[in-house]
Structure 1
Amino acid sequence: MIGICTVLMLGLGVWLFRPISTAPFRAARGGAAANSIAVVERWPINGVDQSVVIRGRNLSDPALIWVSDLWCETPILRHFDAELEEHFVVVYWCQRYSGQSLDPFATPPKTLSLDQYVADLGVLVEGVRARLHKDKVVLIGHSSGTALGLVYAQRHPEHVAAYVGVGQIVNQAEGLKRSYGFAMAEARARHNDQATAELERIGPPPYADDRSSAVLRKWTIALGGAFHGGLSYSKLALVGMTAREANWRDLAAFVRGDRYTAAMVPEMSTLAFDGRDLNFQVPVYLLSGRYDHRTDGALAEAFLDRITAPQKGFAWFERSAHSPPLEEPAAFNAWITDNIRPLTTAR
């Protein structure tokens, strides 16, 4: 048993410390498929080297950039949503201080703002447009990524073919209140005394410290507000760590990443779009899981009703909570391909 455990630990160590890679697209007769792309790169973006994976079976397809949550979703998006690579050239991006872009030995920043992330996205978009020879890109934001994706789409419509927000942030203060109401109701209905006591102790938001926010986040997740069905963050972590596009950096970021993004908490906890300019020059589509209690779908639907855009639409995913791309990948990929690809001009 000691020998077996030693071999397993050595194997795990070798796996974790290997360089990341991504598999090429194969032609029917073997070899790399003509006109395809599958690369792992590091791009210097506003003073921080950031990880970029680009994959597409046909370089003539439109470009699609995933603007994921503040923890890098590249490995799990590759696992669940690789079908999109058959219809788009997909760009997976680890934002600063996440996944492969995190240096876990660096000092956490004292200040961090949404505008910094939007500026990073701007550099990424320009690089993708130049690299792939595209006039515009599709942006898909998920969770926290919807904040910078929406801001960029409004500021730079000339570069955006369409914007899709999944679990769209609209009004964080109101959203947190609704999350609290859900968590407290579930805790009492399930006779979960620990959850009830902790939620009563912190009371409803707003909160002056991140500890109370962490308690609310913990119980919202534990009581079913983040995933509908058997998925969980621990299972996603396991899926991610088996991917070729992940190694020890992703594990370190998963464990320590909150220390590096903590400076964003005050701004993100009060972020609201419904009081801003509601005119958009790009198509805007918002997607929500019916059981999402981390970002409230009803808020997103009401927000979409108020905005003006060349084209807009809303879709519910009936078997999802906060992450339809991961909980209903087949339905999600089909929806994006059927509804968003026609809005693009492949060049």
Structure 2
Amino acid sequence: MNSKFKKIRKIILIIFTIIILILFITMLIVFPPSAGNITNNNHDEICEKTYLNVNGTKLGMVIKGAKADNPVLLFMGGGPGIPEYWMEYEHPTDIDEYFTVCYLCYRGTALSYDPDLPLETINAEQMTLDAVKVTDYLRERFGQEKIYLIGHSFGTTISLRLAAEYPEKYEAYIAMSMSVDKIRSERKAYHYMLDQYKKNGNKKMITEMEKYYDLFSDNNTEPDMSSKEMHSYFAKTRDKAMHENGIGTLHNMDSVITGIFFPTLKMTDFTQKERLNIWRGKSMVSKSEISSGNFKATDVTKQLDIPFYVLAGKYDMTTDYDLQKEYFQLVHADLKGFYSFENSAHSPLFEEPEKAKNILIEDVINKKSDLADSF
């Protein structure tokens, strides 16, 4: 009996050891340790993480560039929360061959994560002032009177303010997947996704989507973007539905978990702590006012005194393609160009990088719009 018990205990111990080894190996694959050194593409002369004490917090950023005298490009990323540098890491464009690119992490997010940061300071006005300080740092450091400015999705809500209020600091403004009118965009996307599920008979998602029908009814002209019901829709349903329908981050990305969450955990250009801070920061910022307001680009400006370019994916309904075109046509600028990306959703630079790079090199740097759509 004693011998049989020892045999069973030995088998259990072996099984337990195997399970621990499997879990450990899985953790190393999914969440690998790293010193967090930024990947240097052989051509990079500048390749670093930099931190600035700005307006009561420490802002982190990644700066990469092939030559110190290349034009400087400040990249105001989407989210807010997921660093735009991760998009370049996962879907490389190599735009740093032609620009010295600064990927800024907004206050409270990713490299700028600070659990003690007062939530009330995470707002559009403060983020705009932060970006002005970063802009001036880049202008002084690289000896350039003006730099280039690009915004992606949420980043366009901040960068549009920068372009409108501080035109003397920027050579041109490039808006990618431009946020124009949050409520109108979300309403269009909701009804489109519900219709798609009805067409393909997905009863589970029809039931899930219809829970929120009153939020996006045409009769509800000003839904409360900060309500518990709206928060539930964004947290549980929206991203899943958008990616299943090819109108989310990338046209061919069908899941935020496999397309963003796990890949960010594997990004060895950030340390393990920095990768965890991506999601800590995203959680914190989601509770701030910038995640619940209704942004309207027309409330900011209809006039820009610098060249204005828009990169828009035809499949984008995260920030609606048609609304982007509508706003573009309203804006008065001496030089502007609208560029449609036929195979992209919400991230055309990363989905069709060669086309996007060609636009930046041929049109933006040379202050032309020869490659733009004709209306």
Structure 2: stretches of 5+ with no match in the other structure: 1-17, 217-222, 369-375
Candidates 100, 105, 108, aligned match of 1:94: 105
- Structure 1 Cα separation of the partners of residues 168 and 290 of structure 2: 31
Contact in 1 for aligned 2:31/2:265 (Cα 8 Å): no
Contact in 1 for aligned 2:31/2:272 (Cα 8 Å): no
Kindly provide the amino acid, as one letter, of the partner of residue 305 in structure 1: Q
> Do residues 291 (structure 1) and 315 (structure 2) align?
yes
- Structure 2 Cα separation of the partners of residues 63 and 136 of structure 1: 8
Contact in 2 for aligned 1:100/1:249 (Cα 8 Å): no
- Alignment deviations for residues 115-164 of structure 1 (CA, whole Å, 9 cap, x no partner): 11111111110111111111111111111011101111110000011111
> Do residues 216 (structure 1) and 238 (structure 2) align?
yes
Matches within 5 A, 1:1-347: 1-2=18-19, 4-5=21-22, 8=25, 11=28, 15-16=32-33, 18-24=34-40, 26=42, 36-69=45-78, 70-71=80-81, 72-103=83-114, 105-106=115-116, 109-110=119-120, 112-203=122-213, 204-205=215-216, 206-207=223-224, 208-209=227-228, 210-214=231-235, 215-226=237-248, 227-230=250-253, 232-233=255-256, 234-265=258-289, 268-343=292-367
Kindly provide the amino acid, as one letter, of the partner of residue 99 in structure 1: A
- Structure 2 Cα separation of the partners of residues 247 and 324 of structure 1: 28
Structure 1: stretches of 5+ with no match in the other structure: 28-32
Seen in structure 2, the aligned counterparts of structure 1 residues 260 and 331 have a Cα distance that, compared at 3 Å, is: same
Contact in 2 for aligned 1:110/1:263 (Cα 8 Å): no
Contact in 2 for aligned 1:74/1:92 (Cα 8 Å): yes
Seen in structure 2, the aligned counterparts of structure 1 residues 243 and 218 have a Cα distance that, compared at 3 Å, is: closer
The TM-score normalised by the length of structure 1 is 0.87
DSSP 3-state at the match of 2:119:
coil
% identical aligned pairs? 22
Answer with 1 or 2: which has the greater Rg: 2
- Alignment deviations for residues 179-214 of structure 1 (CA, whole Å, 9 cap, x no partner): 111111112112122221122111243243322343
The TM-score normalised by the length of structure 2 is 0.81
Aligned length: 335
- Structure 2 Cα separation of the partners of residues 277 and 140 of structure 1: 17
- Structure 2 Cα separation of the partners of residues 252 and 56 of structure 1: 26
Displacement of 1:310 in angstroms is 2.0
Displacement of 1:23 in angstroms is 3.7
- Structure 2 Cα separation of the partners of residues 222 and 253 of structure 1: 27
Displacement of 1:248 in angstroms is 2.4
DSSP 3-state at the match of 1:182:
helix
- Alignment deviations for residues 234-261 of structure 1 (CA, whole Å, 9 cap, x no partner): 3234444443422324432443334311
Q: Which residue of 2 aligns with 1:30?
A: none
